[in-house]
Amino acid sequence: MAYSQQALKEQVAKAAVEYILPLLSPTAVVGVGTGSTADLFIDELAKHKQQFKAAVASSERSAKRLADHGILVLDLNEVESMPVYVDGADEINAQLQMIKGGGGALTREKMVASVAERFVCIVDESKLVERLGAFKLPIEVLPMAINSVSRQIEKLGGVARQRVGFITDNGNPIIDVEGFSVEDARELESTINQIPGVVCCGFFALSPATIMIIGTQEGVKQLS
Ligand code: 5RP
């Protein structure tokens, strides 16, 4: 019998908690991502809430779920270091470069991840790709820069559309870009980062994950 996508997500959430347990201590703060896989990770993590001090969340959604479990949620400004950040992805390749932001939390995800020593990416096997770019690339932009950024994106070969009815936790719109031929995600991430008005682009290639925990029909695997 084949495992459902939900079952694979549950398996990686459990495996991620097993992976991070040796990294926890009474003073440790855990970085927590956003999305349906991250939600399952939060639920598993809560079973071990006596083994760490607090969490930093990458979204209001995850902060609420953590708090509902009785886990102390700290602001990123209160934290100097974290042993680990755990999050899902929309796409990930064998170099552990990702596209993230399907849930719109990319900016906070990138910030929280940057403070952590390790990024543990938890995905089911549908997220594993040879080349990034089939998933529309999310870019958070300042409101007055929607059109100017979109024009710059078109010069780079992409087609940008504003995500309808969506505003990030930071109060900004998102544009989703399709049509990029992504040969070098690091270079494209750097280029997009330099467009005035871009808050954050959904490539996580300049700072990829440290390890991927992937749920497959043959069981949970790790790649680092
Ligand atoms: C949110 C993200 C998520 O990690 C990504 O969208 C994957 O979500 P899910 O675990 O629900 O498939 O980047 O901004």
In degrees rounded to 5, what are phi and psi of residue 105?
-100, 20
202 lines ligand 1 (CB under 6 A): no
Say how many Å lie between the CA of residue 42 and the centre of ligand 1.
14
Q: What is the reported pLDDT for 169?
A: 98
174-178 and 159-162 strand pairing: antiparallel
At 182 the pLDDT is 84
Q: Which ranges in the chain are annotated with CATH 3.30.70.260?
A: 137-201
Percent of the chain scoring above 90 in pLDDT: 98
Question: Is ligand 1 within 6 A of the CB of residue 34?
Answer: yes
Question: Which of the four CATH numbers 3.60.20.10, 3.40.50.800, 3.30.70.260, 3.90.400.10 does domain 137-201 have?
Answer: 3.30.70.260
The β-bridge relationship of strands 219-223 and 211-216 is antiparallel
Confidence of residue 80 (pLDDT cuts 50, 70, 90): very high
Question: For ligand 1, what atom is nearest to the CA of residue 37?
Answer: 10
Question: Which pLDDT value is given to residue 25?
Answer: 96
- Gap between the Cα atoms of 19 and 170, Å rounded: 31
In this prediction, residue 194 carries a pLDDT of: 98
- Which tens digits make up the pLDDT trace of 129-185? 999 999 999 999 999 999 999 999 999 999 999 999 999 999 999 999 999 988 999
CATH number of the domain located at residue range(s) 5-126+207-219 in this protein: 3.40.50.1360
Separation of CA 152 and ligand 1 centre (Å): 26
**Dist. CA 213 → ligand 1 center (Å):** 14
pLDDT at 181: 82
Candidates 150, 146, 188; CA nearest to 166 is 146
Query: What pLDDT score was predicted for residue 162?
Result: 98
Find residue 119's DSSP bridge partners.
Answer: 85
pLDDT given at position 37: 97
- E strand intervals along 14-102: 29-32, 54-57, 84-87, 91-92, 98-99
- What is the chain's mean pLDDT, rounded? 97
ipTM > 0.90 (yes/no) = yes
Q: So what's the pLDDT on residue 207?
A: 97
Q: Which residues are annotated as a binding site?
A: 34-37, 87-90, 100-103, 127
Please tell me the pTM assigned to this model. 0.95
Outline which parts of the chain fall under CATH 3.40.50.1360: 5-126+207-219
pLDDT, tens only, 41-74: 999 999 999 999 999 999 999 999 999 999 999 9
Residue 38 has pLDDT above 80, yes or no: yes
Q: Own/partner pairs for 63-70, CB < 8 Å, 24+ apart?
A: 65/39, 66/32, 66/42, 69/42, 69/43, 69/45, 70/46
